[in-house]
Homo-oligomer: A and B are copies of this chain.
């Protein structure tokens, strides 16, 4: 063994090198780097020279007792950042939470505490509960670079996580943010794993179950890769970005809300992970289970009905695959003490007629108003899901939920509840009998007569998205024909709405490659066997 004998400073050591590191003035650099903290240092900044930073290295910024990690960009323009300044991108500035001009220090960052665990996962090892807690905490606190985030996402993709690891990940994600406690025994929620355009059942299930008296504080996401999330569609009708205290007050008064979940800081690591999963199209079973269940548990749900659609172009394409996914959801929910009811549904085609925020809001309001033009598939599916949730009420007999839900909807009580929620959140001007749709359109017509034997969820969603949804709320796809419908040559199958010429062109080019529809014989319509 050996020890340290210290020569102290040689006499010609440069003095004060370690002092300048503390004397930079924070400067907000108005660049939105999207969830990656970036620090801008001038190339001639004494700190940059002294510390021997290299481009892309991670730095740690300290000010006012707080610290953040960031990626370093080197700047050669004094107009962006001066030699005595520390430029912070918008995200970094908000996270550090000090004023412009505040003194800050910067140093080469130690790697995130969990980097060793990340390396072990990259190398294929199984991780412990503590490993996941460390990794997820670092992710939630934005200590990971995009490179490290991507490495975690890819290294935990496919079957790289066993089911206990998925539980550890879920638990760590819940612990990474706020958890809500509604002080009731029964807090219900529903969720769909996604992938089915137009599937806006939440906006029907929530008012129905709340009208029945169940507590249903629904927070939803915005679209990630889809043409509309529930939050995007609800936003057509009402304000969805509410301060948490206001949301809680609405829930106390109306037993429900339909809001965007982004303000509540629930499972914040999930949002960070999604920022890299999205561009990679990665959505493995383990990541999906942890993402969904962590959000629900953090939101205080005690009972969850989970919708897993199956179909040739759904996320899940076979019953064995759906059952594997169901078992994983059930295992993790059990470990987390969440009562879970998994329902496997028909995912062969979009639900409802409209795809895109305004079009989907139209479908929802038609169902609530018992309008004869209401899409029946959306109505039936919503009633079945609501019925299952209503059966969480111990006073309701198994099998009675559907009829109760139907009575609530048919009697107009669901509409009344929805209108109360909309008013409480802040109503928008929306008239579904006079829709503000994207003014640029084209129609896709049947090239031959027959029966609709296939509608490609992915292709239809892609078109709606290219047409501008969800950003352009009136953009999207309006389906005139569904599976099994007879068509004659020349009949309009669907209409694409866009707000901008370039979007219309993108959608048109995609349609030219594939319309997403197949026409054939009635016996060619695929069957699915699903549970209700």
Contact = CB atoms under 8 A, between A and B. Distances in A.
Interface in A1-39: 1-10, 12-14, 17-18, 21, 29-35
Interface string A114-130: 00000100111000000
B441 A471 contact: no
Given A17-B501, A147-B146, A502-B21, A445 B31 contact: no
Interface stretch (A185-193, A275-283, A372-380): A275-283
A452 to B, nearest CB: 10
Contacts of A440: 9-10, 13
Contacts of A515: 1-4
A9 B501 contact: yes
Interface stretch (A75-83, A210-218, A522-530): A75-83
B2 A444 contact: yes
B73 A445 contact: no
- Most B CB contacts (10 A, CB to CB) among A8, A55, A502 go to A502
Contacts of A502: 17-18, 21, 50-51, 107
Interface string A354-368: 000000000000000
Given A32-B75, A33-B73, A4 B512 contact: yes
A394 interface: no
B447 A1 contact: yes
Interface stretch (A150-158, A319-327, A383-391): A150-158
A244 interface: no
List the number of copies, as a whole number.
2
Contact of A52 (B8, B35, B471): B471
Contacts of A486: none
A153 to B, nearest CB: 8
Nearest to A517: B2
B80 A4 contact: no
Given A123-B157, A124-B158, 6 more contacts: A5-B445, A7-B442, A30-B77, A35-B56, A107-B502, A122-B154
15 contacts: A3-B444, A3-B445, A4-B442, A7-B442, A12-B439, A13-B501, A18-B502, A30-B76, A31-B74, A31-B80, A34-B55, A122-B282, A146-B147, A147-B276, A148-B279
Interface of A: 1-10, 12-14, 17-18, 21, 29-35, 40, 43, 50-52, 54-56, 58, 73-77, 79-80, 90, 107-108, 119, 122-124, 145-151, 153-155, 157-158, 275-276, 279-282, 439-448, 468, 471-472, 492-493, 499-503, 505-506, 508, 511-512, 515, 517-519
